[in-house]
Structure 1
Amino acid sequence: MTAAPTSKPFALLPDDPARAVVMLILAFTALRIAFAMLLGFGVDESYTLGQARRLALSYFDHPPLHLWLAHVSMLVFGTTWAVRLPFILMFAGTSWLMFRLTERLFGGWSGVWAVLALNCSLFFLASPGAWIVPDGPLLLFLAAGMLSLAQLFFPKRGETPSAWRAWALAGLCFGLAGLSKYSALFVVVGLAGFLLATPHRRWLLHPAPYAGAVLAALVVSPIILWNMANDWASLRFQAGRGGGKGLTLAAFAQMLAGQFVWLAPWIAVPLATIAVQEARRWFDPRRLFLLALAAPTILYFTIQSLWSGWALPHWPMPGWFFLFPLLGGWMVANPDASPSPRAWAKWCAGLAVALSLGIGAIGATGLLTRLGVPPQADPTLDAFDWKALRPVLAARGVGPRSGPVVVALTWNEGGKVDLAVGDAADVMVIGPDPRGFMFRQVPRAYQGADVLIVAQAGTFARQRATLERQFAVLGEPERLSIGRGGRGEIDLVIVPARGLRSLAPVSVAMR
């Protein structure tokens, strides 16, 4: 197949779209590996790795699949940067599925453009693309399930897809997506809306979709069993995050702005603009399919911020994921647009490389603090691993078979502590927000125990009065300053304490 010169984002790409997209995927995979090697584990990753040390049917914050993957990865790679490799490779697979989905709907070169834009987006470049978070497996299996159904809904000439195979594969993939993150449900709701709104509703009279639904339910059953055994704690926690606080326009504005920042403005503006334009062609079933998959996730989490008072801008991203094929189709159909799509592609790729390597280098070296930026203003400080704790605590008798228990005061600090010493000692959290730590702690096992409290100095100061009631004896804090390049950027305290009276948190004020 020979491509028109304007079909290709870059002139150097091969003329075959499949070969071209493989080159792009390999290039972005290499970029992600470099990024992963430079940047330490973030707060969520540290916490996830700590929770993943112990296998369970499910976990407090999220369904278990990414934690199971992290557990296996740690067995192979330890807690080095390489533990991210399975997640990086998964997103390479997701990119290929994006190509195949877009190719089926709008053609091969549209698929290449969609993959390029997806990988240049800040969120998809970093979070599901390189980090140990649930979004990686979520997107992989959502894409696989929807591709299976697209083959059934939009067959090519001469194809006779099997309904049983398509719905069984979709059910398996949707189950695995649900085993990754609860928000998979919104995309499946969008699929149901598409079926009801189009002649494809005939599939609702066929037994295959229901067999697929049963298979999906079997796959997600570990989540149900864990929640049944733990008073539905995980589902109650996630449902409570959308609690009403009245009309909050500021949170709504922050949610909108946050999505555009996460997508990257140079991706978000054309993506949103083209999605609105394509929505006018909703009568085209290919476009309606993508819009239906995207709309529930984007609209729910964006509008929810109006009454919840807060929301995280990455929550709607699985919805935006399904709009990238529309962008890819538009780029091929409008090669003479202004600004030039090919010039835009060069800028997007250049910014993706510069930002990922630049942020990685800043995180590895602490360049901002070297230049006088206060540590609290450096966003990469959250990705600094507290490895310096390990020898300090080892000198105080912390070890795999003896010595005091290590105690943190918040779930996020507990994750950092657990990443540093969790394979050598028990780590628990006794503050007001232990999150998943409360499901791996047995109060009777630690009653009266001697512990070493490790916390940031400010956190300890805020909770000191409570801690004095939780221990028979609370020792004096010893200060430890850690940071990159030997500079003090994080002020910690190590506090010996004796006679632990209660692990119970003071309150369950989980945000």
Structure 2
Amino acid sequence: MTPFDRLSPDPARAALILIAGFTALRIAFAALLGFGVDESYTLGQARFLALSYFDHPPLHIWLAHASMWLFGTTWAVRLPFILLFAGTSWMMFRLTSRLFGPQAGLWATFSLNVSVFFLAAPGTWIVPDGTLLFSLAAGMLALARLFFPTAGETPSPWTAWSVAGLCFGLAGLSKYSAVFVIAGLAIFLLATPHRRWLIHPAPYLGALLAALVVSPVIFWNIGNGWASLKFQAARGGGVGFTPSSFLQMVAGQFVWLAPWVAVPLTYAGVAAMGRWSEPRRLFCLALALPSILYFTLQSLWSGWALPHWPMPGWFFVFPLLGLWLAENPDAKPSPAAWARWSGALAVALALGLGIIGATGLATRLGLPVRADPTIDALNWTELRPRLQALGVGRPGGPIVAALTWNEGGKVDLVVGDIAPVIVLGPDPRGFAFRQDQRAYSGRDAIVVALASTFQRLGGGLDGQFEVLGEAENATVDRMGRPELSLVLVRARGLKSLTPTSLALR
């Protein structure tokens, strides 16, 4: 007896009901919460179609462009990403069911969806992880059918490797870190009798298809001095032995996964290592470990790392957690009780954060703005009419300039459809590549910055314009209450263009 038997005695039908329920939760979450910094920046970049982009490969930006064409910049622009993760969840069920049985598939699908990171980031937000995980799951599912056929199945290696190659190309078109999961696949092949596929021509056809799919990223980098690859490679640069960064990285992963998911997930992964010689367990471990180990250990010498970087690796540990939960129904604490609590916490977190973001409840209760977990998801909608009153959007009117890429993304989201937005600081990211910056020489501009950012970086503006006006105050409101303080500066005659030699951290 499992908690999912009440949904349907058919595991596949129960999985579909689970996925539909979490999809509805994500839609509610998406409708309540504004766009985060990365989402705002991505939507601004998505106004300009290109072969690829500075921060990431283009697939999620292309999808965002199509979604904006359908929905504008309303919350509904997230819908294709939410539906994409519903497909990813279904493939998690199918993959785990093939490896370890349908009950394990149900547990893996549920566990994936109650994890904070997978509930929010690839599951709801406009980030590259959504297209990455969908592509990796689809490719590995195609190969799992070849590697682990059921009785009576005779899968075609040409079909399996061709589908996998196309999917891995899409993964590379999503995020550079896909290479670590593909490296794990190579490790699995070399460590098992499946190495026989390395002398078959089908995998090389798949590799050719993957290279063709990912070629826009290569061509863009060739045309832009390999700027994107250099940027990503520099993020792993060494600053010396930094154990504090390593501890922060480990803690960050547990927070992102949700501690009540991270603990059993880690336990299941470690337990599987004790039986690594079993090919199905090894398949999951090989796909998972390169990402987890590299990005976690990298923080020891890089001085910093973002805890969501190893998440594609953790994705492939969920089948192992599903297996452990299915095999240990009488464990203490009870898997059934854990499921009830985890499901309730997922609903509470999603709706709670959404309500805080929509209402500003945290600051209404007296917390400082910096303590509001949703402040970065506040849309700067009040800025548009204020800038229009200053001539932005009129023929020959001023352009809009920000001082940092993240604030530029917020500005771009609300006015980028009526006026050019540039970034004047040393780290413009994609803003430096999407337009010919020389076209703005001599133009008038309205500089927009958070008050704290202007205080920190505004002193350098004198040398970038012929005439710099007085700073004017503005606010970003939420339900009639000022939440953020902005500074607007009218400037004439842009002299210094956005730097293209990037001083990036």
TM-score for both structures, normalised by structure 2: 0.99
Alignment of 1:213-232 (within 5 A): 213-232=207-226
Structure 2 match to 1:116: 110
Q: Does 1:404 align with 2:389?
A: no
Structure 2 match to 1:201: 195
- Cα deviation for residue 508 of structure 1 reads 2.7
1:339 counterpart SS class: coil
1:247 counterpart SS class: coil
**Distance in 2 between residues matched to 1:180 and 1:362, nearest whole Å:** 31
Q: Does 1:13 align with 2:7?
A: yes
Aligned residues of 2:15 and 2:106 also touching (Cα < 8 A): yes
> Alignment partner for residue 96 of structure 1, among 85, 90, 113?
90
- Cα deviation for residue 12 of structure 1 reads 1.7
Alignment of 1:273-288 (within 5 A): 273-288=267-282
Structure 1 match to 2:364: 370
Q: Which moved more, 1:217-226 or 1:480-489?
A: 480-489
How many residues matched? Answer: 505
Structure 1 match to 2:332: 338
Q: Does 1:233 align with 2:227?
A: yes
> Alignment partner for residue 255 of structure 2, among 244, 251, 261?
261
Q: Which runs of 5+ in 1 are unaligned?
A: none
Structure 2 match to 1:424: 418
Structure 1 match to 2:136: 142
Structure 1 match to 2:445: 451
Alignment of 1:69-80 (within 5 A): 69-80=63-74
Aligned residues of 1:410 and 1:429 also touching (Cα < 8 A): yes
CA RMSD of aligned residues (A): 1.0
TM-score for both structures, normalised by structure 1: 0.98
Q: Does 1:483 align with 2:446?
A: no
**Distance in 1 between residues matched to 2:52 and 2:5, nearest whole Å:** 48
Aligned residues of 1:443 and 1:502 also touching (Cα < 8 A): no
Q: Does 1:315 align with 2:302?
A: no
Aligned residues of 1:471 and 1:498 also touching (Cα < 8 A): yes
Letter in 2 for 1:115: T
**Distance in 2 between residues matched to 1:169 and 1:443, nearest whole Å:** 41
Q: Does 1:248 align with 2:242?
A: yes
**Distance in 2 between residues matched to 1:95 and 1:68, nearest whole Å:** 22
Runs of 4+ in 1 over 6 A off after TM superposition: none
Q: Does 1:492 align with 2:486?
A: yes
Alignment of 1:141-220 (within 5 A): 141-220=135-214
Distance 1:504 1:418, change over 3 A: closer
**Distance in 2 between residues matched to 1:89 and 1:136, nearest whole Å:** 10
Distance 1:156 1:58, change over 3 A: same
Structure 2 match to 1:413: 407
**Distance in 2 between residues matched to 1:489 and 1:14, nearest whole Å:** 47
Letter in 2 for 1:399: G
- Residues 475-503 of structure 1: CA deviation (Å, up to 9, x unaligned): 10100022212222211011000111011
- Residues 163-214 of structure 1: CA deviation (Å, up to 9, x unaligned): 0000000000000000000000000000000000000000000000011000
**Distance in 2 between residues matched to 1:437 and 1:400, nearest whole Å:** 22
Aligned residues of 1:174 and 1:216 also touching (Cα < 8 A): yes
Distance 1:62 1:506, change over 3 A: closer
Letter in 2 for 1:420: V
Letter in 1 for 2:225: D
1:62 counterpart SS class: coil
Q: Which runs of 5+ in 2 are unaligned?
A: none
Aligned residues of 1:475 and 1:495 also touching (Cα < 8 A): yes
**Distance in 1 between residues matched to 2:469 and 2:436, nearest whole Å:** 24
**Distance in 1 between residues matched to 2:304 and 2:394, nearest whole Å:** 41
- Cα deviation for residue 445 of structure 1 reads 1.1
2:448 counterpart SS class: strand
